[in-house]
A and B are shown apart, each in its own frame.
Chain A
Amino acid sequence: MDRTKEKVRLEGISKDFFVREDGKDHTVHALDRVSFSVREGEIVALTGVSGCGKTTTLRIIMGLESASAGSVEVDGRRVTKPGYDRGMVFQHAELLPWRTALGNVEFGLEVKGVASKERREKAIQYLNLVELEDSRNRRPDQLSGGMKQRAGMARALAIEPEVLLMDEPFGALDAQTRESLQGELLKIHEKTRKTIIFVSHDLDEAVLLADRVVVMASNPGRVHEIVDINIPRPRLDPIAIRGSDEFTQKRYYIWKTLTADTTNGAKTSGVDAAKTPTEA
C-alpha cells in the first residue's frame, strides 16, 4: 500500500441543473470547479451546509450523475459511469427488501458475474467483517437500522472496490447506533485499508473518521477549505479521540468556518452546529 499514491482525483467538477420555475427555465449552478484528490488508504469526509453539493459530488464520483464540466479519475483512469472500482453505501442502506442480508450482499457479486459458490463464500466473509453473520438469513424488515447499514456496507465491500463511497451512511441512525457503526468503520478501515470518501453533515463524525475534511460552501457549491486531521491511526479508541485537543480544535475550527465564512448569507441549518464544544 502506497499511502502517497493518488487514488481519486477530481479536477474542476462543475454541475448545472436545469429547473423550471414560474414557467421559466433557468440554470442552477450546483457545483463550481470542485477539485481535490484522495490518497490511497485515506478517509476523506465531504462536509458543508445543506445544498453545498456534497452528495452531488459523491454521486458524480460514483457515476450516478454526470458532471457538466471537469473530470473524475480513479487510479488515473477517467470515470463517467459506475464501475466495480467504486462501491457505494447508500444513505438509507437501500437493501432489496425481498432478499435476506446474505442475499443482499450477494447482489453485487451476482451482477458482477461471480460464480455462486465463490459468491456465497465472499458474502459470508464480508458479513463476518461487519459482524452480521448471525443475522444473515433475516430479511431487511427483520433487521434494525444499524444492521441494515452493516449489510449495506458489506454489500459494497464484497465487490472489492478500490474506493468506498458513502452517502451520509449513519445519518439516519440514532446516536448510539451511529457511534458503534463509526467504530466499526474505523476497524474495517484498519483491516482493509480501503480508500473511503464519505459525505456527512455531522462534524463529530467527519473529524473522528477522516484524515482530511473537505469543507464545502454553497451558492454555488465549491470547495472552501481542506482541513487535515492529525489524529494518528489506528483510531481504535473513539472515546479518547473525542476528548483529544486535536479533535476538539479541528471540530471547532470547521464549525466556525461553516457558520461564519462559507455561506454567502445562506442559512446554516444543515450543519450540526448545536453541539458546540464547550472546551474550545
Chain B
Amino acid sequence: MATNPSKSEAPSVGEELGETEGRTLSLRSIRSGYITIISTVIILALWELFGSQIDPLFASYPTAVAKAGWKILANGTLVDAFIASIQPFILGFALAIVVGIPIGLLIGRYRILEAAFGVYVTAGYATPLVALVPLFVLWFGLGFKVKVVIIFVLSVFPIIINTWAGVQSVSRTLIEVGTAFVASQYQIMRKIVIPATIPHMMTGLRLGVGRAVIGMVIAEFFTAVGGLGGIITNAGNRFDTATMFVPIIIIMVLGVGLTALVGVLERKAAPWHRSVTGR
C-alpha cells in the first residue's frame, strides 16, 4: 500500500499566498505533475519489456493485465467484486471514524479515561490484529458482517491513537485562554480542543485508510471467496497471473486515491496548520 502523499500535492495552497508566490508554486506543481507522469510511463514500459520475457505463470506485464482486466470488466465480474469490496470498506471505515474520534478525544482529555482505557488502545494498536481474524470468523461468520468488523478493527486504532495524541499536544496556554474567558468544559472541547486536534485526526485517517484497505483484502482472503480479494485468490488458484494483477492494481489505486483524498480534506479542514501553511 502506497500511503506516501506525493510531494506534488503540497503546493496547491497557492491561493493562500501572495499572487507571485502562488504563480511560481502552481508552475512548480505542474512541473512535478509531468515528472510523475513521465516516471510512471517509464516504469510501465520497463515492466512491459521485461515482464513479457518471463514465463506468464510467474509474472505478467501491462498489456496482458489490461487485456485480462477488460475481460473481467466486460463480463461484469470486476464491477460486482468492486461493489462487494467497497461496501464493507465504506461501512467499516466510517464506523472507525465515528467511534475512533470521540474515543480519542475523551481519552486524551480526561486522565481517568486514559488510565482506564489507554492501555487497551495501545495494545490494540500494537497487536497484529490479523491474528484475530479466525476468531472473528467464528463470531461473525463468513459474510458481509465479518468484513465490516475486520476493516473496522484494523482501522479504528490508528484513528484513536492519533486523536488521543493530538488532544494531548494541544498547548496548555490555548486551553487556558478558554479558562480565562470562562468557557465551560464542553466549550473548551468544542471550540479549542477539537479544532486544534483536526490535523492529528487527519493523520489518523490517513494511517487508518491504509489499514482499512489491508483489512478489506485480508477479510476476503480469509472469508468468503468474493470481492477483489476473491478474484486474487481465484486467479491465483488458476495460475492466471495477469488476472491476479487487475484487483491488485485497483486496490493500489484505491489506496493512493483515498490517501490523497484525506490530504485534500486536511487542507480544507485545517488550512491554518503548519503542514499546510508551511510555517
Complex contact A111–B277 (CB within 8 A): no
B273 partner residues in chain A, CB cutoff 8 A: 97
Q: How far is the CB of B55 from chain A (nearest CB, A)?
A: 57
Given A94-B174, A96-B174, check contact A141 B182 (CB 8 Å). no
Closest 5 CB pairs of A and B: A88-B180, A108-B181, A111-B183, A97-B272, A98-B272
Complex contact B177–A112 (CB within 8 A): no
B87 partner residues in chain A, CB cutoff 8 A: none
Complex contact A96–B177 (CB within 8 A): yes
B187 partner residues in chain A, CB cutoff 8 A: 111
Interface residues of B in 220-261 (CB under 8 A from A): none
Interface residues of A in 61-86 (CB under 8 A from B): 62, 64, 82-84
Complex contact A111–B191 (CB within 8 A): yes
Complex contact A96–B180 (CB within 8 A): no
Q: List 28 A-B contacts (CB under 8 A).
A: A62-B180, A64-B176, A64-B179, A64-B180, A82-B180, A84-B182, A90-B173, A90-B176, A90-B177, A90-B180, A94-B173, A96-B196, A97-B196, A98-B195, A98-B196, A98-B270, A107-B181, A110-B191, A111-B178, A111-B181, A111-B187, A112-B182, A139-B272, A140-B272, A141-B272, A141-B274, A141-B279, A159-B181
B279 partner residues in chain A, CB cutoff 8 A: 141
B171 partner residues in chain A, CB cutoff 8 A: 94
What is the size category of the interface that chain A forms with chain B?
Answer: 20 to 34
The interface bits of chain A over 188-223 (1 if a CB of B lies within 8 angstroms of the residue's CB, else 0) are 000000000000000000000000000000000000
A62 partner residues in chain B, CB cutoff 8 A: 180
Given A107-B191, A111-B191, A141-B279, check contact A82 B181 (CB 8 Å). yes
What is the size category of the interface that chain B forms with chain A?
Answer: 20 to 34
B72 interfacial by beta-carbon distance below 8 Å: no
- Interface majority SS on B: helix, strand, loop or mixed? helix
B95 interfacial by beta-carbon distance below 8 Å: no
Q: How far is the CB of B60 from chain A (nearest CB, A)?
A: 48
A83 partner residues in chain B, CB cutoff 8 A: 182
B84 interfacial by beta-carbon distance below 8 Å: no
B196 partner residues in chain A, CB cutoff 8 A: 96-98
B192 interfacial by beta-carbon distance below 8 Å: yes
Q: How far is the CB of B183 from chain A (nearest CB, A)?
A: 4
Complex contact A94–B277 (CB within 8 A): no
Which of B179, B191, B272 contacts A82, CB < 8 Å? Answer: B179
Interface residues of B in 63-117 (CB under 8 A from A): none
Interface residues of B in 158-212 (CB under 8 A from A): 171, 173-174, 176-183, 187, 191-192, 195-196, 198
A82 partner residues in chain B, CB cutoff 8 A: 179-182
A84 to B176, CA, bound (A): 14
B277 partner residues in chain A, CB cutoff 8 A: 141
A94 to B196, CA, bound (A): 13
A140 partner residues in chain B, CB cutoff 8 A: 272
A81 to B253, CA, bound (A): 55
A107 partner residues in chain B, CB cutoff 8 A: 177, 181, 191
A159 partner residues in chain B, CB cutoff 8 A: 181
A92 to B172, CA, bound (A): 13
Interface residues of A in 215-259 (CB under 8 A from B): none
Complex contact B181–A96 (CB within 8 A): no
Interface residues of A in 96-151 (CB under 8 A from B): 96-98, 107-108, 110-112, 139-141
A139 to B273, CA, bound (A): 11
The interface bits of chain B over 125-136 (1 if a CB of A lies within 8 angstroms of the residue's CB, else 0) are 000000000000
A97 partner residues in chain B, CB cutoff 8 A: 196, 272-273
A140 to B173, CA, bound (A): 16
Interface centre among B174, B180, B192 (most CB of A within 10 A): B180
Complex contact A111–B182 (CB within 8 A): yes
A267 to B53, CA, bound (A): 79
Closest to B274 in A: A141
Q: How far is the CB of A165 from chain B (nearest CB, A)?
A: 9
A76 to B61, CA, bound (A): 85
B182 partner residues in chain A, CB cutoff 8 A: 82-84, 111-112
Q: How far is the CB of B27 from chain A (nearest CB, A)?
A: 23
Closest to B171 in A: A94
A140 to B273, CA, bound (A): 11
Q: How far is the CB of A161 from chain B (nearest CB, A)?
A: 10
The interface bits of chain A over 156-200 (1 if a CB of B lies within 8 angstroms of the residue's CB, else 0) are 000100000000000000000000000000000000000000000
